[in-house]
Structure 1
């Protein structure tokens, strides 16, 4: 049976990630300029952006299910799944703690919002109701895990589909009779990968439309007014994404940061445009397998897990936002309170599940945990989309780095790659 990298054949679009990123960047700038000077075009072009993101999202659940079931069936039959999952979760937890720590250090040093001079702008608060406690939040997430698979699919419940695919694939592998079924899922995954390639040709157009729509809606004024807050979040994300993650990858795998970033160009571009790590997942899988030479049996388990629970950028953002809101209202958070912020920021980030701006909603958990007013969310709403694009890029970069780290510590080997034969 042939291999099932995403997709199997090379195309001009995939041959030159730098060219792809350059064209998309030009489209991004052009769309932003058009939206700024001709805001009436925003609603018209919004349809193009909606269609682009919708096309990617339509492929997410099928790819997660098919790829995870196939990979788990192979790994389960070989008895290698335990090491892979344990290394994955250790990496996810370690990088998320590092991200939150960076955010808290920077926000304490710069203290954006101190003096309360911007507090008056917090009046336009969205109608967001937070969970009554971290326990209530965990209960809500637990209910999502045990949803009926059909119901979960209809509600786009990525977490429930992922858990079901993990369990079903493992059971299939352990049955000793699942080779034919696993091969069928591999073929389906390959076909879906070809659809992803077709969608990617529309990336510059989709990015142009998304940028025009966003700038037409908000303009540049909110970013200027909240400059110190935006700079702290952006600086923290840059430190984590450009220094911490590449350093971890270099120390573990000896892969140069430049080669890693070149491999990550395409998923980073799509992540920045769509602000959704879930929508970027098919592109991230492609980069891991074809640019970083990660076996599909590793990438197709680690990446769906990462897109669901590994949210370094979101955790950093929520920690910074909580302290920024505290500063706005003149509320001092001591070390103990900031520790609670760190823990709940990680929990809330995990609950965000790769959906655009979901971190804005789950942030209510962080504020509630330390007694901060939910009205403060209205203060940062205007710049959330811009920061969402940045933090999603860091989320995706962390997921992609996870594949090479996990492959180093829990190698499966190219002979075990999905689609290369072998008994399940």
Structure 2
């Protein structure tokens, strides 16, 4: 193999390689569908590797960041959390407004097998509480990121009084697992090649075209939040042109998150970006893993848009108080969505319950979400993950501005 090709594979632009894999997968599905079904195994293995490494990554990184935090040194976690909550609620509002202006309908014909889904907001809060006190081994096995986060913080706080050697070991373990997942992400072009080839060979574009308007509303909302709402929020913090920072986060973080479809798996990418931006390490080492768990702007849009699409399909009139309540419910539910592919879809029935929609019909809406997930979930994750860095950077810049004032 020529040295130039080896250098391009291991050191070249990951975005360019992913683009090449995307195009190659589409061409293979079009020209040779039988072979495309075979190479879909590459995509399956890639996703499995991400799912396997991501929970351990969150546990070790948050533990290491917490136990190595210097007592008395201020962090900006609270302002970042407020930005996360503001961004998620704003995204839900955008989703509701867009759905009211451009109502979409669904094809709710096929029966969908009943799945466990929350029916009231109290069930979501209870589930979050139960997840927080989950057995640590079970939390890792089930990718329960809320439980993992709680155990990581608890272990980190306990290890603050450990010897320097122990705290150094935790730091080394965090760096080690980061290197492992970076190696996995480096294989993303092959994984994307397999995923795209298998997906389009199996269903083509027909199923996606059936929901073209719904996809347009979903993706349009996510673009509006990424390019209009988030820059406005950042400007309120920095009082300077937000678009250089916004575009950097989209280019460096959103692209990889779009294809990995996992906020948790994109944590090392965001940590590396935060370091290049010169942000406070004590802040971003905690806020980035935390954001992968609770900062879910894209999920808020998905929940609100699909719930209103179900209401429009059934001819249910939606008044303003109910629409506002849907914004709040979507934002709260989004914070409870897991940081893995499709994590927001099972929370749609709860939002549908605001309109008196039965669980059987709501689960058909969830089925629609899985059909369009190849685009919807990718765009959702790209927005979620890139915003983790964006709001962390905004909080750090705001702190610098206040210190200089």
Q: Could you say if the C-alpha distance between residues 287 and 12 of structure 1 is closer, same or farther in structure 2, counting changes exceeding 3 Å?
A: farther
Q: Deviations over 1:192-217 (max 9, x none)?
A: 23223322331211111111122223
Matches within 5 A, 1:210-229: 210-229=195-214
Q: Could you say if the C-alpha distance between residues 321 and 278 of structure 1 is closer, same or farther in structure 2, counting changes exceeding 3 Å?
A: same
- Match status 1:367 vs 2:377: no
Tell me if structure 1 keeps the 8 A contact 2:303–2:348: yes
Task: Name the CA distance, whole Å, in 1 between partners of 2:255 and 2:171.
Answer: 27
Task: Name the CA distance, whole Å, in 2 between partners of 1:169 and 1:90.
Answer: 23
Corresponding residue to 1:78 among 57, 72, 76: 72
- Match status 1:408 vs 2:393: no
Q: Which residue of 1 aligns with 2:147?
A: 160
- Match status 1:67 vs 2:53: no
* TM-score normalised by structure 1 residue count: 0.84
Q: Which residue of 2 aligns with 1:151?
A: 138
Give the secondary-structure state (helix, strand or coil) at the position aligned to 1:349: helix
Tell me if structure 2 keeps the 8 A contact 1:126–1:377: no
Task: Name the CA distance, whole Å, in 2 between partners of 1:197 and 1:150.
Answer: 24
Most deviating of 298-307 and 366-375? 366-375
- Match status 1:389 vs 2:389: no
Tell me if structure 2 keeps the 8 A contact 1:341–1:370: no
Give the secondary-structure state (helix, strand or coil) at the position aligned to 1:77: coil
Q: Which residue of 2 aligns with 1:46?
A: 40
- Match status 1:201 vs 2:195: no
Give the number of equivalent residue pairs. Answer: 389
Corresponding residue to 1:136 among 105, 114, 123: 123
Of the two structures, which has the highest relative contact order with CA contacts closer than 8 Å and spacing of 6 or more?
Answer: 1
Give the secondary-structure state (helix, strand or coil) at the position aligned to 2:85: helix
Give the secondary-structure state (helix, strand or coil) at the position aligned to 2:33: coil
Tell me if structure 2 keeps the 8 A contact 1:123–1:378: no
- Match status 1:305 vs 2:290: yes
Give the secondary-structure state (helix, strand or coil) at the position aligned to 1:125: coil
Corresponding residue to 1:376 among 365, 378, 389: 365
Matches within 5 A, 1:4-403: 19-75=13-69, 77-81=71-75, 84-113=76-105, 118-119=106-107, 121-173=108-160, 175=161, 177-253=162-238, 254=240, 257-258=243-244, 260-262=246-248, 264-289=250-275, 291-372=276-357, 373-374=361-362, 375-403=364-392
Task: Name the CA distance, whole Å, in 2 between partners of 1:122 and 1:89.
Answer: 41
Q: Could you say if the C-alpha distance between residues 92 and 259 of structure 1 is closer, same or farther in structure 2, counting changes exceeding 3 Å?
A: closer
Task: Name the CA distance, whole Å, in 1 between partners of 2:386 and 2:109.
Answer: 32
Tell me if structure 2 keeps the 8 A contact 1:122–1:378: no
Task: Name the CA distance, whole Å, in 2 between partners of 1:54 and 1:378.
Answer: 22
Most deviating of 22-31 and 143-152? 22-31
Task: Name the CA distance, whole Å, in 1 between partners of 2:224 and 2:345.
Answer: 22
Return the offset for 1:317: 1.3
Tell me if structure 1 keeps the 8 A contact 2:15–2:256: no
Q: Could you say if the C-alpha distance between residues 215 and 233 of structure 1 is closer, same or farther in structure 2, counting changes exceeding 3 Å?
A: same
Return the offset for 1:324: 0.7
Return the offset for 1:31: 1.1
Q: Could you say if the C-alpha distance between residues 12 and 67 of structure 1 is closer, same or farther in structure 2, counting changes exceeding 3 Å?
A: farther
Task: Name the CA distance, whole Å, in 1 between partners of 2:399 and 2:202.
Answer: 46
Return the offset for 1:259: 5.1
Return the offset for 1:319: 0.4
* TM-score normalised by structure 2 residue count: 0.88
Q: Deviations over 1:363-411 (max 9, x none)?
A: 1221123322313333444212321111110001111212212323467
Q: Could you say if the C-alpha distance between residues 91 and 410 of structure 1 is closer, same or farther in structure 2, counting changes exceeding 3 Å?
A: same
Task: Name the CA distance, whole Å, in 1 between partners of 2:370 and 2:185.
Answer: 30
Task: Name the CA distance, whole Å, in 2 between partners of 1:40 and 1:321.
Answer: 34
Task: Name the CA distance, whole Å, in 1 between partners of 2:171 and 2:284.
Answer: 13
